[in-house]
Every structure is written in C-alpha cells, then in structure tokens.
A and B are shown apart, each in its own frame.
Chain A
Amino acid sequence: MTVLSLNTKQKYGSLLAGNAFYEPGDFSSITTVTVGSGGTSSVTFSSIPSTYTHLQIRYISRGLGSANNDTYDIIQFTFNGVAGTSYAWHEMAVDGNTSGAVMAQSGSSAAYVRSWSAGNLSVSGNYGAGVVDILDYANTSKNKTIRMLSGFDNNGNLGGNPLKYYRYGSASANSGLYLSTNAITSITINGIGNLDQYSSFALYGITA
C-alpha cells in the first residue's frame, strides 16, 4: 500500500506518512515548574487540558524566608482561582515534636487543601516531598476529591526558636475536597511563605 502525504506529496509505504509514531500515554507529563533564584510566592498550572481522567502532582519543596520561619511548610492547593470557603480537608500526620504522637486534624469551609513539606529552618539542602492525586478533575457532575502523601524528615533537628512548636519531621496522609462541579483547569500552589529555589512541581495526566 502506498500513502501520499497531503503536505509534501511524497509517497510512503506506511500510514504514518513520515510522521513519528504516537502512542497515547497512560501516565503523561503535562508540565513542570522549578522555582528559580530568589524563590517565588506561588506556582500555577493553567490551561490544564480536560483530556485525562486524573491528575497527579509530584513535588519537592522547601519554604523560604521569615514568613515561613519554621522547620516545616504547609503546601496549599487552590483550583480555578477560587479562594474562600470552597475547600475541606482531613489529615493524619506525625506530630513531629512530641515523641510518638499522631495528629488528626481537619479544616472545613477552608481556603485550600493542604499537604506538608520542609521549611526554611530545616537542615540545609532538605526538601520535603509530596504526591498529590486529583481524581476525576474534569468531571462536571462531581465535587473533586484529592488525596495526598507528603512529608519531610529533618534528621532530628529542630529549628532553634524554643518558643515555637518546631517539628523534627512529619509523614502525612491527607484527603481534600473541592466543592465544585466545574472541571479543574488551573491549580495554584502556595507555601506559608515563599517557595525556595529548586522547589519543583511536576503535573502529570493519567488516562483511564
């Protein structure tokens, strides 16, 4: 069989007609943001295509500056630029200060869903990490559910200020709810303060 390219009028023996083979991915990289010198106040993924079933964000990050000023950071996720009270979350995490203690925390009518990372008083070079799954993000019939595994370990070091409740580390499993049936087309990520240089957030799409 011979195929004629409509562009070049060239004949090929394959239906690819000179084009590279394309295999739709089950797990595909969409985009990545790595924070540059001086840090940044937020990271935004915009114009997210609705062609996937689920999204996953994989990150390493570290808080920056006096607004963080702790061994840990709270990574905050908002969607479609919606602030206010459209979010709820539950969290099971290591207290990280009191030996053996486990925290169970929650937020309702919240301004974001959250996960954990390392703060600017963590040991030098320490970046916390997280894996965040946003399920059925493009579904226009459901509110959106998010699940997260995240945390940091600070090798037994506290930050220094005895008046603050610093943490040696935490491992955290979180769930989140975004009360909207709109498809998620943008995601904004903040820390307590700025995000430090080399923090990196990668967005992936998963096809069912």
Chain B
Amino acid sequence: MAKTYTPIATTTVSGTSTTTVTFSSIPSTYTDLILVSNCGSSTASDLNFELNSNQGDAYSWTAIGSNGSAAYSARYSSQTYSGRLNYLGYQSTNNYSMVNIAHFMNYANTTTYKTILSRSNNASLGTDAIVNLYRSTSAITQIKLLLASNWYFLSGSTFTLYGIKAA
C-alpha cells in the first residue's frame, strides 16, 4: 500500500507585517489537500481563504459551533473574495492560538464543485465546524489565507499543507 499524507509546504510567520499566506503552484497529483493552521491574528478575525485568485461570488458556507454557553449555526451564500475556515472560534490578540484543520476534498477534480470541510478550536473562545462550497470546476492550484481588514498574522503562526493520494 502506498504511503501518503505528504507534506507539500509549510510556512511560519515572523514579524508584524504578514497579512496573507499563499500556497501556490499546488501540484494536482494528490486527491485531497489538508491544511493545518495554528495561528493568531493582530485583531480579532476569522480565518479566510481565497482560491485560485478568484474574488468572485463563488464561495458559500454553512457553519455550526459553540462558544461554551450556546450552540449556533450560520449560513452565507454567494460570498465574494473568500471562503471561511472558522466562524465562531475567532482568533484574537490574546495568546490563545486558533487550531484549524481544513480538508480540500478532490481539489484537482475538474468535473465537480469543491467542498471544503473545516474544524476549528480556540481554547479561549469556542469550537466550530464549517462546510464551504467553492463553485468552480477548476482544479485548485493556489490557496491564499487572509484575515479581515488586512490584519496581520501573529509571529509564530504556522501553516502546513499536506497532500493525500488515493489509490
């Protein structure tokens, strides 16, 4: 059986000026991509993603989460610029990083739209799960991560992209 779950690229943020992290030229040789993020934001923000530089209204998502006292759900359609990897587990200026694992399913498929499953945990603020739909049949070759209003990622934030290849 073929070993898989291969690291493709990793980034560690330094300084106070990194507002985006981009994985580009992603090879189409895998079946799924898994993005593991452990990051913080200079100002409270969700973690957003833009695919293939597409800033059209191709993004929509459905979210479920809890802030420790109540459970919530939310839904957003035809969103421009980006999808979202967390909803209720906001990042913040405190020292509690947000840990997120996102699955870009069948990302290189050129027949179907793309579904992205995401789970986030923030020890201070809550936990959530989001299903994103990216309405494009193009293979995903670039993932750009960004925060709201050009806030910057805190120094030490890490992002690692893995590839999984099905037999």
A156 and B112 in contact (CB under 8 A), knowing A26-B3, A102-B73, A169-B131? no
Q: In the bound complex, how far is the Cα of B164 from the Cα of A100, in angstroms?
A: 34
Q: In the bound complex, how far is the Cα of B75 from the Cα of A30, in angstroms?
A: 35
Expressed in whole angstroms, the minimum distance between the Cβ of A129 and any Cβ of chain B is 4
Expressed in whole angstroms, the minimum distance between the Cβ of A60 and any Cβ of chain B is 5
A149 and B167 in contact (CB under 8 A), knowing A155-B133, A198-B111? no
A32 cross-chain contacts in B, Cβ below 8 A: 31, 166-167
A58 cross-chain contacts in B, Cβ below 8 A: 31-32, 103, 105, 164, 166
B2 cross-chain contacts in A, Cβ below 8 A: 25, 28-29
Q: In the bound complex, how far is the Cα of B105 from the Cα of A160, in angstroms?
A: 27
Interface size on A, residues (CB 8 A): 52
B165 cross-chain contacts in A, Cβ below 8 A: 29
- Select which of B61, B117, B132, B137 is within 8 A of A149 by beta carbon: B117
Main secondary structure of the interface of B (DSSP, over half): strand
A202 cross-chain contacts in B, Cβ below 8 A: 31-32, 166-167
Which B-chain residue is minimally distant from A25 (CB atoms)?
A: B3
- Select which of B71, B113, B119 is within 8 A of A126 by beta carbon: B113
Main secondary structure of the interface of A (DSSP, over half): strand
B73 cross-chain contacts in A, Cβ below 8 A: 94-96, 100-102, 171
B112 cross-chain contacts in A, Cβ below 8 A: 60, 62, 125-127, 198
Interface residue ranges, A against B (CB under 8 Å): 23-32, 58-60, 62, 92-96, 99-102, 118, 123, 125-131, 149-157, 168-173, 198, 200, 202, 204-205
Apart from A129-B105, A151-B117, A155-B78, what are 11 other A-B pairs with CB-CB below 8 Å? A27-B164, A29-B2, A29-B4, A58-B103, A102-B64, A102-B71, A150-B117, A154-B60, A169-B60, A171-B73, A202-B32
